[in-house]
Structures are given as structure tokens and as C-alpha cells.
């Protein structure tokens, strides 16, 4: 079936560097994408979202890029900090026309080293 997937299971970066986490999706009908951060033993925390009519959205230290042509989503974290260490999931809403259930990707663990 259709699914959301990630290229890299683990990403190690130095503190202060920029991080890029990638995600590939296969459902062309998806119109809403979200990035979540999950720390150990906790529920997912919303980071940033983007709708399919946009290709870029910026937040505080984070940027999400959407390339609908190749069905690719990325999360960029600027000046990565130790507190950014967590597992990051992309999620898609595969049903157009309103909010519905989310389909999650496999996740990428981000490890930030001092």
C-alpha cells in the first residue's frame, strides 16, 4: 500500500551545524504534511507543517521544504542544539478535503554531539 518513508534511520551532527532530515511520500493525493519530534517515552510534538500548495515554510530555526514533483519532504534545522536530539517523523494526510488520520513515516533519529 501507499506509505510514507524516510531515507536515513540515524543522523549524527555536531552542535551548531545544520541538520537535514528527508522523507519520501508516495500518495500524490496528500495535501497536508507535518513534521513531529518525539523524545524518548513521550508523545510526538508538533514542529512544523506545510500544505501542498506551498513548497517552503519557515519556523523558528526550522524550515520544511516540499517537492511535489518527486514527492519529497525535508526538515531543515539550523544551528542544531543538544536539545534537538530526538526521533523525527514526517506524517501525511492522504485524504484531501479536510483533516483526517495521519500516516507516519519510519522516523529518523537525530543525535547531536557537542
Residues that bind another protein (CB under 8 A): 32, 34, 36, 41-46, 49, 51, 89, 98-99, 101-107
Q: How far is the CB of 57 from another protein (least distance, A)?
A: 11
Specify the residue, 85 or 105, whose C-beta has the smaller distance to another protein: 105
Give one DSSP letter per residue of 10-73, joined into a string: EEEEETTS-EEEEEEE--TT--EEEEEEE-TTS--EEEEEEETT-SEEE-SSEEEEEETTTTEE
Residues 6+ apart with CB under 8 A from 44: 36, 37, 38, 89
Specify the residue, 99 or 114, whose C-beta has the smaller distance to another protein: 99
Specify the residue, 98 or 114, whose C-beta has the smaller distance to another protein: 98
Q: How far is the CB of 114 from another protein (least distance, A)?
A: 24
Q: How far is the CB of 104 from another protein (least distance, A)?
A: 5
Q: How far is the CB of 100 from another protein (least distance, A)?
A: 8
The SS3 call for residue 78 is coil
- Round to whole Å and give the CA distance between 61 and 58: 8
Specify the residue, 1 or 114, whose C-beta has the smaller distance to another protein: 1
Amino acid at each position: 500500500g501507499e506509505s510514507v518513508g524516510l531515507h536515513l534511520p540515524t543522523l549524527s551532527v555536531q552542535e551548531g551545524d545544520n541538520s537535514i532530515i528527508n522523507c519520501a511520500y508516495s500518495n500524490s493525493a496528500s495535501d497536508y504534511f507535518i513534521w513531529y519530534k518525539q523524545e524518548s517515552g513521550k508523545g510526538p510534538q508538533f514542529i512544523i507543517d506545510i500544505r501542498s500548495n506551498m513548497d517552503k515554510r519557515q519556523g523558528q530555526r526550522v524550515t520544511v521544504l516540499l517537492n511535489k514533483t518527486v514527492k519529497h519532504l525535508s526538515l531543515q534545522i539550523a544551528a542544531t542544539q543538544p536539545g534537538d536530539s530526538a526521533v523525527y517523523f514526517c506524517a501525511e494526510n492522504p485524504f484531501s478535503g479536510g483533516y483526517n488520520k495521519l500516516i507516519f513515516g519510519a522516523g529518523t533519529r537525530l543525535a547531536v554531539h557537542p
